[in-house]
Amino acid sequence: MTHSYRQPGVVLTDRRFTVPLDHADPAGETIELYAREVVASDKAGQNLPWLVYLQGGPGFGANRFVGRPAWLGRALKEYRVLLLDQRGTGASTPANRQTLPLRGGAAAQADHLTRFRADSIVRDCEAIRPQVTGGAPWTVLGQSFGGFCTVTYLSLAPEGLATAVITGGLPSLHAHADDVYRAAYPRVERKVAAHYARYPQDVERARRIADHLLGHEVTLPNGYRLTVEAFQSLGILLGGAEGSHRLHYLLEDAFVRTPGGHELSDAFQEEVQGLLSYAGHPLYALVHEAIYAQDHRPTAWSAERVRAEFPQFDAAKTLTGDGPLLFTGETIHPWMFDCDPALRPLRETAELLAARTDWTPLYDAGRLAANEVPVAAAVYHDDMYVDTAHALETARAVRGLRTWVTDEFEHDGVRAGGPRVLDRLLALARDEA
């Protein structure tokens, strides 16, 4: 059953689909996918081509837009848009601390979660495409991890694509997670330096908070244990257009004077718990490193291991001197499964995923080299989340892929840039620019 309703300038329709949990066993267990169809009000009766949007993450449902902001307004000029909640996210059949025990113990949960990577997401798209388009190929817009999924789509089922557009999401075709994080930590350090250059007063503020956390046990209102490493992980904000400013405003009023001395304010703690909690997107923590796993090597908590190669990120050592505290970026660590109440019950499951060695390939280099689908990709110079060198190497490996390399935007350019990013990439894909 579908339900349609209106917002300013658009008609929305809720759509639900049933797909196999394991596409290798199409007659077996099924799960539900949710997607929101969006069409411009003045085009609602027209036969339009389709664009399916693949959200970044992994583990996030599609954007809940109101009206036609960001890239959506440009897309609606010529497409019906399908905002897909990838399996396990949003309003699709969930995978979280409440539902995963239905699978059984930690080993069964880990086995279950191996089916939540890009290859399964692509096969989901191909399973629902005939119901949506009548069998016609569609255009895909992949943001960040959605771009990783798009490269997998080009590898597994290019016949389903009319055009592919990628924003901040060209993955390495062969790098292990260790290679990804060895490239990432220096980029993060550059972003932190840029933040302190903009807001030099934040050097002392960040050091003061870190020093307080090293000497005190702080539990946030939702039960999250705020350690100094958790505080450093707020650096993930620095990869977005407004992230440096958001971090600055967070730091400026962290403390309040109480009868027992200065403490972290309730307002600070409330905002921090919203930024750090994985309650709304636990799959991000569970399968994040697995998006880089393709060979017979375990990821083995790669970000945690590689961090040890960059001692400048050690807060305790930093505070023995007078240097600035370094924040970290898009990394998942085992301590998160101790600190976050939404993740604690899943610690053993996460350990089993980190030790796993039977990951299947996500990309087909031969098929990408013979690609015939028009593809265009925005590569953001010094993107904090996706290594530029890795992205450009992959761009060269995909036949016909056109890149737009720019330092005008951060990783969220497709949102922050309004219609301009999608407009430019569609023109590139069509050989009009």
pLDDT tens-digit profile of 233-277?
999 999 999 999 999 999 999 999 999 999 999 999 999 999 999
**Of the listed 3, 25, 322, 358, which one is catalytic?**
358
Same-domain check for residues 117 and 7:
yes
Res. 215 pLDDT band, cuts 50 70 90: very high
Instruction: For the chain, give the mean pLDDT.
Output: 97
Query: Do 350 and 368 fall into the same domain?
Result: no
Report helix, strand or coil for 70.
coil
Beta pairing partners, 32: 18
Amino acid at 424: R
Domain co-membership, 306 together with 400: no
Same domain, 326 and 304: yes
Domain identity same for 157 and 32: yes
Looking at the DSSP bridge assignments, the partners of residue 51 are: 81, 139
411 given a catalytic annotation = yes
Q: What sections of 19-99 are H helices per DSSP?
A: 72-75
For residue 306, give the 3-state DSSP assignment.
helix
Question: Residue 218: pLDDT above 80?
Answer: yes
At 2, is the pLDDT very low, low, confident or very high (cuts 50, 70, 90)?
Answer: confident
Q: What sign has the CA pseudo-torsion 162, 168, 174, 177? A: negative
Per-residue tokens: 229: 């490493």
Residues 239 and 367 in one domain: no
Asked if 144 is an active-site residue, the reply is yes
Tell me, what's the pLDDT at 193? 98
pLDDT of res. 3: 87
Last residue of a domain, one of 300, 323, 355: 355
Active-site residue, selected from the candidate residues 288, 340, 411, 412: 411
- The packing angle between helices 243-252 and 202-215, to 10°, is 60
- Number of structural domains found in the chain: 2
pLDDT at 171 over 80: yes
* Spatial CA neighbour of 414 closest among 2, 65, 98: 65
CB 425 within 8 A of CB 398: no
Which member of 92, 144, 277, 302 is catalytic?
A: 144
pLDDT of residue 1: 63
Distance between CA 419 and CA 426 in Å, rounded? 11
pLDDT in tens, 371-380: 999 999 999 9
Whether 21 and 118 share a structural domain: yes
**E strand map for 322-364:** none
Based on the domain organization, do 336 and 374 belong to the same domain? no
Domain span at 337 = 177-355
- My answer on whether 262 and 142 are in the same domain is no
**Residue range 349-372, pLDDT digits in tens:** 999 999 999 999 999 999 999 999
Q: Which of 152, 154, 136, 146 is nearest to 79 (CA)?
A: 136
